[in-house]
């Protein structure tokens, strides 16, 4: 297995001024979803140490004050947890996702688009925006999430998830209603957007999806990642893209991808997007 760097032009290299309304719209959409349009003024809500958390929470509730930490340069690489932005996906990964969707449209690759693990919905909103910008009225964007956070680890089945604490982080639990409202804010909530609510092991195998052109995985854990691959990868069309958000950041995710690729005999080159995101393009068999 080899890992290469995503081509600069494929990632939407900065400095290339848009030349038509479609490019301007998609540039503005990405910048708004990531909140990079406001030059890093979003930040992350401060999470105090356990010893002072109760006092800090009480102060925030009574005074109506929120302490926000800003770190310059993290939004581009998606290294922070935004307070306001509709995606944690960094600018580079959003540019790469746009490239993947545009490429399957140009090449006529059959299938819908899906993200498994959507948080506030930003990456799915971008995919729907690309379809709208190109006038595609046939494909569906599938939005798959529990909308209740991540499942508790099951180390008896997936040893790589032992000790995983994602399920304890309530910031990862964004309701279906909130995600739907975010689509609505961008004017992109319509019949081409469908939601799959529940744990991936329950929803994905029976999902009414015929073919996929883009499969984006953002499930963090080994279980969530491998469940999505098992349930959906066989539906990915030749020429379609499999995008993995957490490959470089979370060992459980990386192990799930590597194990699945080895078991399934997948030899396509993994292309690195940034410090954590990767993709590969499914070859014709």
Q: Which of 50, 48, 43 is nearest to 79 (CA)?
A: 43
First and final C-alpha spacing in the chain: 18
Q: Which residue has the higher pLDDT, 78 or 118?
A: 118
Per DSSP, the three-state class of 12 is coil
124-128, 137-141, 166-170, range with the lowest pLDDT: 166-170
Across residues 54-60, what is the average pLDDT? 64
Tens of pLDDT, residue by residue over 252-261, are: 999 999 999 9
Q: What is the pLDDT of residue 217?
A: 98
Q: What is the pLDDT of residue 17?
A: 41
Q: What is the pLDDT of residue 81?
A: 81
Across residues 92-101, what is the average pLDDT? 97
Tens of pLDDT, residue by residue over 207-237, are: 999 999 999 999 999 999 999 999 999 999 9
CA angle 127, 205, 160 (to 5 degrees): 90
Across residues 47-52, what is the average pLDDT? 60
pLDDT exceeds 70 at position 155: yes
Share of residues in the chain with pLDDT > 70 (%): 81
Query: For the chain, how long is the longest CA-to-CA vector?
Result: 62
Q: What is the reported pTM?
A: 0.87
40-54, 155-169, 172-186, 196-210, range with the lowest pLDDT: 40-54
Per DSSP, the three-state class of 15 is coil
Between 3.10.180.10, 3.20.20.370, 1.10.3720.10, 3.40.50.150, what CATH number should domain 3-34+85-281 receive?
A: 3.40.50.150
Which tokens in the block code for residue 103?
């490429």
Which part of the chain is CATH 3.40.50.150? 3-34+85-281
Average pLDDT, the chain: 88
pLDDT confidence of 93, banded at 50, 70, 90?
very high
pLDDT confidence of 64, banded at 50, 70, 90?
low
Q: Which of 52-56, 168-172, 265-269 ranks highest by mean pLDDT?
A: 265-269
Strands (E), the chain: 3-5, 44-45, 68-69, 112-116, 141-145, 193-197, 212-217, 236-244, 270-272, 278-281
Q: What is the pLDDT of residue 133?
A: 96
Q: What is the pLDDT of residue 48?
A: 58
- CA dihedral 25→93→127→270, nearest 10 degrees, is 140
Q: What is the pLDDT of residue 259?
A: 98
pLDDT confidence of 14, banded at 50, 70, 90?
very low
């Amino acid at each position: 297995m080899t890992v290469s760097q995503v081509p600069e032009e494929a990632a939407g290299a900065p400095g290339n001024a848009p030349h038509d309304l479609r490019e301007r719209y998609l540039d503005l959409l990405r910048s708004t979803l990531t909140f990079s349009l406001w030059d890093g003024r979003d930040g992350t809500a401060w999470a105090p140490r356990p010893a002072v958390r109760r006092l800090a929470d009480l102060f925030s509730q009574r005074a109506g004050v929120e302490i926000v930490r800003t770190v310059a340069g993290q939004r581009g690489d998606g290294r922070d947890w935004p307070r306001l932005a509709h995606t944690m996906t960094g600018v580079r990964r959003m540019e790469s996702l746009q490239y993947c969707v545009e490429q399957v449209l140009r090449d006529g690759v059959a299938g819908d688009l899906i993200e498994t693990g959507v948080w506030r919905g930003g990456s799915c909103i971008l995919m729907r925006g690309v379809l709208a910008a190109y006038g595609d009225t046939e494909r569906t964007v599938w939005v798959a999430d529990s909308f209740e956070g991540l499942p508790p680890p099951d180390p008896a089945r997936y040893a790589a998830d032992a000790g995983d604490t994602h399920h304890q982080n309530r910031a990862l639990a964004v309701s279906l209603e909130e995600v739907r409202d975010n689509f609505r804010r961008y004017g992109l909530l319509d019949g081409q957007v469908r939601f799959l609510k529940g744990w991936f092991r329950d929803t994905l195998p029976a999902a009414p999806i015929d073919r996929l052109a883009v499969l984006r995985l953002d499930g963090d854990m080994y279980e969530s990642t491998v469940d999505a691959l098992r349930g959906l990868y066989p539906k990915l069309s030749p020429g379609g893209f499999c995008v993995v958000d957490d490959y470089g950041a979370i060992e459980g995710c990386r192990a799930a991808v590597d194990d699945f690729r080895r078991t399934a005999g997948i030899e396509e080159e993994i292309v690195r997007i940034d410090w954590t995101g990767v993709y590969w393009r499914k070859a014709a068999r």
